[in-house]
Homo-oligomer: A and B are copies of this chain.
């Protein structure tokens, strides 16, 4: 595996994320994402094309090639493992973790990352609940849906929280919901789309907690996974 510049890596990572939604990524989108100018994006796309990391036809957008995707997953793996390390071992808070990992992710030693992974006991999710690709680049794909879209009476695990403002974290703390919390949606009220959910206690501390209410707004910001 060759070595890529920090800038190239940032482009690849950004394309990967934009692709998740779109499929095809455009010059302006990417420029906005990277806070750079469209002209710079075009320059870089030409370079990444000659390196066979993206498929690109002038004026028609681009997407990652197989090699580009592989590279993206390597970078995402580095990023998320460092995030986990920072939160778990160095006691950084959720919000601080991302910026520092943004730098650490460009240190490219494969051995470093694999040993870090082992040191952390092969965590499967970063502190935001996003899955961490394994050393072969395989990533958990089980779909994540917001609480609104969960089927009723289906046990699910909270895996992601999109808004991380102080206010949001305060509310989550109060309701005792965090990444990893297991819960079931018991009812959905069509009047205001609020939900009644039941939280499954991890080690059945108290025998059975009463169900709690979640507003539509909140439920749209909490994501969870479940087995089909």
Q: Give chain A's interface residues, CB within 8 Å of chain B.
A: 86, 89-92, 96, 99-100, 103-104, 107-109, 111-112, 115-116, 118-119
Q: Are A112 and B89 in contact (CB under 8 A)?
A: no
Q: How far is the CA of A107 from the CA of B82 in the complex (A)?
A: 13
Chain B residues positioned under 8 Å from A100 (CB to CB): 107, 109, 111-112
**Mostly helix, strand, loop or mixed at chain A's interface?**
helix
Report the minimal beta-carbon distance from A93 to chain B, rounded to whole angstroms. 11
* Minimum CB–CB distance for A114 against chain B, Å: 9
Q: A116: shortest Cβ distance to chain B, in Å?
A: 6
Assess the B115–A91 pair: CB atoms within 8 A.
Answer: yes
State whether B119 touches A108 (Cβ < 8 A): no
Of A86, A107, A108, A116, most B-chain CB atoms within 10 Å:
A107
Cα–Cα distance between A108 and B104 once the two chains are bound (Å) = 10
